[in-house]
Each structure stands twice: as structure tokens, then as C-alpha cells.
């Protein structure tokens, strides 16, 4: 006779595997290679399908839809104009091309799938870098094989696996290194591991990883000043201190190793109720600018183009994703920050209308901004699932 206990245990094991496969995240660790396929020709997105008339812009500016991409998040661009788009709630990375010059993408490629929150993408010397929660991958010579990219190369897999603030924005700095943030694994906490709440950097091959900036709760956007070469980054403030506190931040890194306050101090002066007695705000680098609480500033770029009026040159566009737990919603807009070499003097609304202030209804949430070669500005929107293009025709 068959052993009843062995049969029972075998059935239990099979049932456990089935349950694990049907709930939560996939247990698969490897990135899925995309099968060989023809170019994905797509029907260009129609502006009429979106309420673009609700978007408020300064006189002379116009907004249109560049492409439709599910959960469009962080973006990168190649010198030839290929746009790479990551996402957070989905598991794929895309490439977009406008092959007929009508300023709308007509080709869309899936470069990798089966990824864990692949928010971050960066392009350097022909190669595309992709950031998962704990790993960095590379697709070499990516534009030569958009339709058949193959299996991405794993170059680093030692980042923490925490989902909380685990999604990443990545970019290459003027020093040729890849900058990768590691968010705090919580709303507010203190970890003995210095890699949490930091911005790290590494060589393109994944070697020589080091912490570049400390005390950074959760940055999902940064750029380098065109004159000084210094890193500027947005940072999302903590939750559960009320509707008006603490502010979200825009920061400037003057030198490696600086500390920007988390979890002890928020904004310029707000001591944390739990950790603020350990260290005072005066011990840390002060923000270049304090945004409103819960506005969730994400992607940011210095504007270097010539399409927009000269007043916009070297100023910062910041995408505010918007609040999730504030009594009255705030954010859901693009801000323009007037910045000099060391600090910012003013922040004004450049584009809004994705949220109706009266009804509090939201139809879009800006995530990232990216300048095209002609000086127009792309804006990704993970809620509407599109990438917009803003032009100046004044």
C-alpha cells in the first residue's frame, strides 16, 4: 500500500506552490527575455481621447499626447531620439520611436518583461540600464536590437529587496557613474545599514558601489546643474504629521558624503517627533527649496533647450505626482523652479489641471519630465498611461 502520509505531504506541497503562484508577486527571479518579433507599429495616440483642454499652461504653450504607455514612469533618451520608459505597477520596459517626424510615437517595443517594479531607466554609450528593486540590468547596444533585445545582462544584485520605497530612478552623472537611490524601507525609521535612505553610485559595470548622499528618504528624480555639475534631487517628505507638515524637498549636493536630515529633520526646521531629539536640524544640509507637504515631487530636469523663452533656460521643471493621504488633494502638476548655482528663489505652477480642485477628481498624475532635442518637454503620466509633449508656439 502507498504511504498515506507521503501522499498527503505531496499534495500539500503542490497546493502550496499553486497558492504562491496565484497570490502577490511572482517568485521568479530572472528577467524574461522578449521573444524575437517584428517592430511594433502602433496607431499614434489621439489627443481627442484625453481632456487636454483642462491643462492650464502659460500663454504660447501647447500640450499634446506623444504616446500611450501603461503606467508610464521614469524616462531616458538616446542621442538618436529613442525614448525609454519604465514603470512601477507593471513589469516591463518600453522603447518609443517617432519614425515619421510627426511628433507622435508610431513604434513601441517591449524590451524586457517579468521585472520587479522596473521604474528606472538610463542610457549611456549605446547601452540601456534598467533598475529593479534590488538589481541593475543592462541591454548592450540596445538600439540595434529593439525588436529582439534578448536577455538583459545582470550587472548588480545587492540592493535591498524591500518594496517600500524600493522603486528607483537612475541616471548617469558627469563623472560617468550610475547614480542609484535606495529609499527608506518605511514611512519613518532608522536603520543601521547606511545604504537605506541614500543615493549610491557605481561604475557602469556594477563595481565600486558607494553611498554618495545620506539622509534621503525617497528620491525619484535628480539631475546635474549644467554649470556647476552638482547633483540636485527631489525628496518626498514623511507622512502622518498632518496635512501641512513636513514639506517635500529640492536638494543640492555640494560634495560627496553630505547628510540631508532623514529621519531626524524634515524640510529646514521640522524635527521628527520620534528621532528629532537625537540630532538637530542644524546638523544637516538645508534644502534648496521646500515644496508643499504631500505634493510628492518626482522627476526633475534642468531645461537646456532653445524652444522655450530664454527665461526658462537652466531652470528646473519638477513633476509633482500628488498626495495620497491628505484631507484635500494637492500636487498633480508641473512646477517651475527658479534656481541659481546654490539655491532656489521661487517655485511657480507651470502646468496643472490633472486634478479638479473643486471636485477633487483626478485624471492624471505627472511622474517624470524629459527634454527632446528640439527643446520640447515630455511628461510621463502613470495614472492616465500616457506621455505628453509640451511645446512653445508663442
Question: What average pLDDT values come out for the chain (394 residues) when binned by 10 residues?
Answer: 40 35 36 61 95 98 98 98 97 97 97 97 98 98 97 98 98 98 98 98 98 98 98 97 97 98 97 97 98 98 98 98 96 97 96 97 98 98 98 94
Task: Give the DSSP H or E segment for 8.
Answer: helix 4-22
Q: Which CA distances in Å does 252 have to 215, 225, 230, 261, 339?
A: 13, 9, 7, 13, 11
Buried b (16+ CB within 10 A) or exposed e, 175-195: eebbbbbbbbbbebeeeeeeb
- Is the separation of the CB atoms in 82 and 146 below 8 Å? yes
Whether residue 218 contacts residue 302, with contact meaning beta carbons closer than 8 Å, is answered with: no
Share of the chain above pLDDT 70, in %: 91
pLDDT at 22: 32
Question: In the prediction, which pLDDT does 30 show?
Answer: 55
Sheet holding 289-290, edge to edge: 222-224, 231-235, 249-253, 289-290
- Residue 32: the pLDDT is 73
User: Please, which residues have CB within 8 angstroms of residue 13's CB and are 6 or more apart in sequence?
Assistant: none
pLDDT digits (tens, 9 = 90+) for 313-365: 999 999 999 999 999 999 999 999 999 999 999 999 999 999 999 999 999 99
The set of cell numbers assigned to 358 is: 473643486
Domains of the chain: 35-392 (2.120.10.30)
Residue carrying the nine cell digits 521568479: 28
**Cell numbers placing 255:** 560634495
Contact of 70 with 385, CB cutoff 8 Å:
yes
pLDDT at position 16 is 35
User: Which residues fall within 8 angstroms of residue 216, CB to CB, at 6 or more apart?
Assistant: 181, 183, 197, 198, 199, 233, 235, 251, 260, 262
Amino acid at each position: 500500500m502507498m504511504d498515506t502520509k507521503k501522499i498527503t505531504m505531496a499534495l500539500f506541497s503542490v497546493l502550496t506552490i499553486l497558492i504562491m503562484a496565484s497570490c502577490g508577486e511572482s517568485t521568479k527571479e530572472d528577467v524574461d527575455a522578449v521573444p524575437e518579433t517584428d517592430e511594433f507599429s502602433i496607431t499614434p495616440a489621439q489627443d481627442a481621447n484625453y481632456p487636454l483642454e483642462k491643462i492650464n499652461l502659460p500663454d504660447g504653450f501647447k500640450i499634446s499626447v506623444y504616446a500611450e504607455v501603461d503606467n508610464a514612469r521614469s524616462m531616458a533618451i538616446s542621442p538618436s531620439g529613442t525614448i525609454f520608459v519604465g514603470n512601477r505597477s507593471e513589469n516591463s520596459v518600453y522603447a518609443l520611436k517617432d519614425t515619421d517626424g510627426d511628433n507622435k510615437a508610431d513604434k513601441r517595443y517591449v524590451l524586457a518583461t517579468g521585472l520587479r517594479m522596473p521604474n528606472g531607466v538610463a542610457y549611456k554609450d549605446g547601452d540601456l540600464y534598467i533598475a529593479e528593486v534590488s538589481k541593475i540590468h543592462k541591454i548592450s547596444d540596445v538600439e540595434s536590437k529593439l525588436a529582439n533585445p534578448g536577455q538583459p545582462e545582470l550587472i548588480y544584485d545587492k540592493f535591498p529587496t524591500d518594496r517600500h520605497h524600493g522603486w528607483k530612478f537612475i541616471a548617469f552623472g558627469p563623472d560617468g557613474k550610475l547614480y542609484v537611490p535606495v529609499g527608506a524601507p518605511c514611512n519613518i525609521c532608522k536603520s543601521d545599514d547606511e545604504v537605506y535612505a541614500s543615493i549610491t553610485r557605481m561604475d557602469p559595470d556594477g563595481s565600486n558601489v558607494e553611498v554618495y548622499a545620506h539622509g534621503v528618504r525617497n528620491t525619484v528624480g535628480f539631475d546635474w546643474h549644467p554649470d556647476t555639475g552638482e547633483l540636485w534631487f527631489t525628496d518626498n517628505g514623511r507622512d502622518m504629521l498632518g496635512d501641512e507638515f513636513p514639506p517635500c524637498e529640492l536638494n543640492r549636493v555640494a560634495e560627496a558624503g553630505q547628510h540631508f536630515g532623514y529621519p531626524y529633520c524634515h524640510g529646514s526646521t521640522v524635527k521628527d517627533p520620534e528621532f528629532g531629539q537625537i540630532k538637530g536640524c542644524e546638523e544637516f544640509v538645508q534644502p534648496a527649496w521646500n515644496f508643499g507637504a504631500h505634493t510628492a515631487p518626482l522627476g526633475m530636469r534642468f531645461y537646456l533647450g532653445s524652444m522655450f523663452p530664454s527665461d526658462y533656460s537652466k531652470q528646473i521643471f519638477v513633476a509633482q505626482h500628488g498626495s495620497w493621504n491628505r484631507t484635500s488633494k494637492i500636487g498633480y502638476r508641473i512646477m517651475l523652479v527658479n534656481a541659481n548655482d546654490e539655491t532656489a528663489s521661487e517655485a511657480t505652477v507651470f502646468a496643472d489641471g490633472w486634478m479638479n480642485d473643486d471636485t477633487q477628481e483626478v485624471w492624471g498624475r505627472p511622474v517624470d519630465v524629459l527634454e527632446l532635442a528640439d527643446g520640447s518637454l515630455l511628461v510621463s503620466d502613470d495614472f492616465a498611461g500616457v506621455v505628453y509633449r509640451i511645446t512653445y508656439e508663442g
